[in-house]
Structure formats: C-alpha cells, structure tokens
Amino acid sequence: MIDAEDPGELLDYLIARGHLTGASGVTVTNLAGGVSNKTVLVHHPAGAWVIKQALAQLRVQATWLSDPARIHSEAAGMRALARLIPARHLTRFLFEDADNRLLAMEAVPEPFENFKTQLLSGQIEPGAIEQFAGVLGQIHAASAGDAALAREFGDRTFFESLRLAPYYQAAAAAVPDAAHFLDTLITDTRATRQALVHGDYSPKNVLVRNRTLILLDHEVIHYGDPAFDVGFATAHLLSKAHHLTAHQAAFIDATRRFWRHYLDTAGDADAERAARHSVACLLARVAGKSPLEYLSATEQSRQLAVCIDLIRGGRLADPDVVAKRFAAALV
C-alpha cells in the first residue's frame, strides 16, 4: 500500500495509474488537521484534487481503531449525496482505489474558509445557520423511506466504531450518572432506520466559499437515525456558546434558528430524540474519546455538570428546549 503523505510516492502512483500524465507543474502538499485520514492536496496544470487515505488508528491519544475500508463508504456517500442535494454544496468525486484505501475529489477553489474557524472567531454570517440546517434537512427529507439507500447504506459498522463506541459508550463508562441515559439512547439509535445519516455533520467538515456551504467528510454515512445528525450539529453550536462568552447569546439564538429551519426543510423529525442526542453529544465531547480541543479543562468540567443537570431535569421536548436550558445553566 502506498503512503499518500509521501509526495514522491503519491506522484509516482498517480502517474502510473494514468491520473496524471507527468510530474511537470504538479505540487503535492500534506494537509494538517486530519484525525481519521491522511489528506493531501495535489495541484496540477488542469486544476487541483484532494486525496484522502483512511487510517486504521486514528490520530488521537487514546486507542481508536477503525477499518480503513470505510473510505469506500465515503465514496459511495459522495455519489449518493450528489443525487440528493444541489451540487454547489458538495465536492465532485473523482476516483477510489480499494487496494490503497484512498479516494480523490476535486479541491474547493480558493478563497474559502472553514466554517468552524469562522464560528470560533465569533462570525455568524447572515444565512449561514439556515443553510447549515437546510442542507441537512434536504438530505434527510430526500432519503427518508428510500429502500434502495437503506440497502446500500445498511451497514453501520463505521458509525459504531467512530461514533457510538468512542462517543456514547466511552462517555457512559466515564460518567456513571449518565450511563442509563446514554445506554438507552444507544439502543434507540440502533433500532432506528429512517433516513440517510451523515454521521459527522460538524462545522469543521464544512467550507464556506462565496457564502455557500460545502459539505465534506462522509465516512460515517449510513442509513439510520437522522436525529443523531441534529444532535451532533446543535451540540457544536452550543459548545461554542459555552466557550465564546462574548457571543453566547448569538450562538444560543443560532442553535434555535438551526432547529426551526431544519424542521422547515426536513418536514418531520423526532424532536425528543434530537434533544437527547444534543445532550449526549455535548457530554461526549467532554467525556468521550474525542473531546473538543477548544474547551479548557474548566469549561469541560462545567459542560459535563450542565449535561448531568439536563439529564436529571426531566423530559427534553426538542433542541430548542435544550438550548434554553443550557443557556440558563451557564449564567
């Protein structure tokens, strides 16, 4: 198997496979920040590609293993999403290689900004939250009840190894007071097969170019519980409300607008389970195997305590209620 992060080896591979005609005018740059993949930018005379090669051991301190074959689930996901949402919200899939556990896509032309970076700077651009919610709502609405997609994406092995085990199960083991809540949610999630679930619907996996959001990183895609995506996304917005105290009100409002616009687009949702996933993800991102790197130790402890209070505080009707209670607990 080639090493995609070895520029010479990757270039030789691309030429040998006929993807490039030669090395003239080609530059290869390793991209930082990837946890689950080696990610490389290849500039060539006709344009630019991004090459992703899946890792077996993710780049985190804890032992976190996942079969690199998930790269082919991502390739299938890219092809499926291209049928469900407008092309402007996706990068174009180019090719995949089963032997080398890699895929290639067109690179997003510069200039662009990462949505997470934008949000962490306190910027919430007009319409961005509605677009973030709307794309997700379109994916869920367009795939709901689709028997062909349910068959193609019925294997949830990678959702188990990359989400349920390192997030919910790890948090349940670390926080006994939340174990019953999380174990019950895991059971409900496994029993639900309603729509195509992205599984990693996070601002870090979104680029913003000309005020258009472009969705990346689809390796956890599967047919399952769409409420998980809602919880995963809203937990990111609420964690930023916690971290960026000067912008706390704006991020609480953004969370509530996300939920309203998601409902407008998706047309239907299990509101209570979305709320439970929101709290579970808030907890998992401070007590699981992948804690949010921008939260300080003090913030992590406070978020854990707030989540326990939310779990003990009775029924959570929807993510709007979660946002309001989370905000009140931070005062």
Beta strands in the chain (DSSP E): 27-30, 37-44, 47-54, 93-97, 102-106, 113-114, 195-197, 206-209, 212-215, 222-224
pLDDT for res 56: 85
Tokens representing residue 199 in the block: 């599984």
Task: Report DSSP letters for 239-271, one per residue.
Answer: HHHHH-GGGHHHHHHHHHHHHHHHHHHHS---H
CATH 3.30.200.20 intervals, the chain = 7-106
- pLDDT at res. 61: 67
Alpha carbon distance 317, 252 (integer Å) = 17
Closest to 145 (Cα-Cα) out of 195, 205, 186: 195
Q: Is 142 helix (H, G, I), strand (E, B) or coil?
A: helix
Q: What's the pLDDT at 297?
A: 98
Residue 224's pLDDT is 98
CATH class for domain 7-106?
A: alpha beta
**Vertex 328, ends 326 and 331: CA angle to 5°?**
115
CA distance 181 to 315: 12
The tens place of each residue's pLDDT in the chain, 331 residues long, gives 999 999 999 999 999 999 999 999 999 999 986 778 899 999 999 999 999 999 988 777 677 778 898 999 999 999 999 999 999 999 999 999 999 999 999 999 999 999 999 999 999 988 999 999 999 999 999 999 999 999 999 999 999 999 999 999 999 999 999 999 999 999 999 999 999 999 999 999 999 999 999 999 999 999 999 999 999 999 999 999 999 999 999 999 999 999 999 999 999 899 999 999 999 999 999 999 999 999 999 999 999 999 999 999 989 999 999 999 999 999 8
Q: Please report where in the chains the tokens 């949505």 appear, as a residue.
A: 115
Q: Give ranges for CATH 3.90.1200.10 in the chain.
A: 113-330
Question: Distance from CA of residue 123 to its chain's centroid?
Answer: 20
The tokens describing 139, both together, are 């994916």
Work out whether strand 27-30 and strand 37-44 pair parallel, antiparallel, or are unpaired: antiparallel
pLDDT value of position 46? 92
Q: What is the pLDDT of residue 62?
A: 74
The Cα–Cα gap between 19 and 11 comes to: 10
Orientation of helix 319-330 relative to helix 248-266, angle to 10°? 170
Phi-psi region of 111 (alpha: psi -120 to 50; beta: other; left: phi over 0): beta
Torsional sign, CA 223, 226, 229, 231: negative
Structure tokens at 257: 């607008």
Fold of 113-330: Aminoglycoside 3'-phosphotransferase; Chain: A, domain 2 (3.90.1200)
Q: Which residues contact 129 (CB under 8 A, 6 or more apart)?
A: 237, 254, 257, 258, 261
